[in-house]
Amino acid sequence: MHLASCEPFCVRNEDCITWMGTQNPAQMDMAIFSPPFPSLYAYTSQPEDIGNSEDVATEAKLHLGFFYHQLARVMKPGRVIIVHVMQIPMLKRTGGIGLFDFRGLNIRLGQRAGLVYEYDWLVRKNPQSQAIRTRSRELQFAGLESNRRRSRGALGDYLIKFMAPGEDDAPLEGKSVTRDQWIDWAESAWLDIRETDTLNVAEGRGEDDTKHICPLQLEVIRRCVLLFTQEGETVFSPFAGIGSEGYVALKHGRRFVGCEIKAEYVIACLRNCERALQSHADDQKTLYDDTLCSLTG
């Protein structure tokens, strides 16, 4: 299959590992996604859903290992992959304590698949809202005052940057990203991301959902898309969810390919992609009208 048949976007309702294995190699210009966080967020009851893996060190590791090898195969040489992760609290119900290094696991598996680990950004998270949402005693005042040694700060997000091996045949030149933008985005930690800057998660929620959806913030996606692609290139999300990556990519004149195994999410993703196309068309018309007005005085 060649992506020319997916203009301007394509969303597949199937497991991304299986789907990538059927595709021609070296098709994607960029990938950005949040891999399912094992044992934290339940998405479906399907066995191929990595989010259902209770043992992150074995079962989830095996799934992700297969995943990264297929991802490396479909990426064009020299192109960027952004992986959004967080560290995972160990399950107390199974005797766990502390954190599992999910960030490190993804880096190691990506490297084993041949990808080049280049960098990661830290994205700030609010400790008060995280304490309310996760009910983590380590963040709560009660935990602080009962045994301060067990307290810790909020768990931030990480944006791992991989490069596909090989020579980039289309380096991104020019000034699409301004110097002022780069001054802000080159900071090692992004402190200005609003946690609520997401698509409407209610549209993708199903009756059998047991835990909440965790879409990536739109501003995070926007920065990455503008930094690492140019108009007309293809952005890939193997775990498309409700379509956050597709929404941003299409809104900024890129193409989008996504995979998602949950039918409710696919419907929401398609709807959000259509909205993005309309928004992009409206923006282009406004730009044309403004330019015409300035030329005619």
pTM of the model: 0.88
pLDDT band at 112 (very low <50, low <70, confident <90, very high): very high
* Block residue for tokens 């419907």: 267
Check residue 293 and give its pLDDT.
Answer: 66
Give the lowest-confidence range in 125-129, 225-229, 250-254.
125-129
Burial of 294 (0-12, 13-18, 19+ CB in 10 A): exposed
Q: What is the dihedral of CA 156, 267, 270, 161, to 10 degrees?
A: 20
Helices (H), the chain: 16-21, 61-74, 102-112, 127-134, 141-146, 179-185, 218-228, 244-251, 263-296
Domain extents in the chain:
7-296
d(CA 161, CA 15): 23
Q: What is the CATH number of domain 7-296?
A: 3.40.50.150
Q: Tell me what percent of the residues of the chain surpass a pLDDT of 70.
A: 81
Q: Are 246 and 11 in contact (CB under 8 A)?
A: yes
pLDDT band at 60 (very low <50, low <70, confident <90, very high): confident
* Block residue for tokens 């993708």: 204
Nearest Cα neighbor of 56 from 6, 91, 9, 108 is 91
Q: What is the pLDDT of residues 203-229, one digit of tens each?
A: 555 555 444 456 799 999 999 999 999
Crossing angle of helices 244-251/218-228, nearest 10°?
A: 50
pLDDT band at 39 (very low <50, low <70, confident <90, very high): low
pLDDT higher at 131 or 41: 131
Q: Are 157 and 123 in contact (CB under 8 A)?
A: yes
Q: What is the pLDDT of residues 62-95, one digit of tens each?
A: 999 999 999 999 999 999 999 999 999 887 766 6
Q: Are 57 and 102 in contact (CB under 8 A)?
A: no
Nearest Cα neighbor of 103 from 114, 118, 88 is 88
d(CA 252, CA 247): 9
d(CA 109, CA 105): 6
d(CA 13, CA 36): 16
Phi/psi at 55 (nearest 5 deg)? Answer: -100, 95
Give the lowest-confidence range in 117-126, 131-140, 263-272.
131-140
pLDDT band at 283 (very low <50, low <70, confident <90, very high): confident
Q: What is the dihedral of CA 45, 113, 159, 86, to 10 degrees?
A: 40
Helix (H, G, I), strand (E, B) or coil at 202: helix
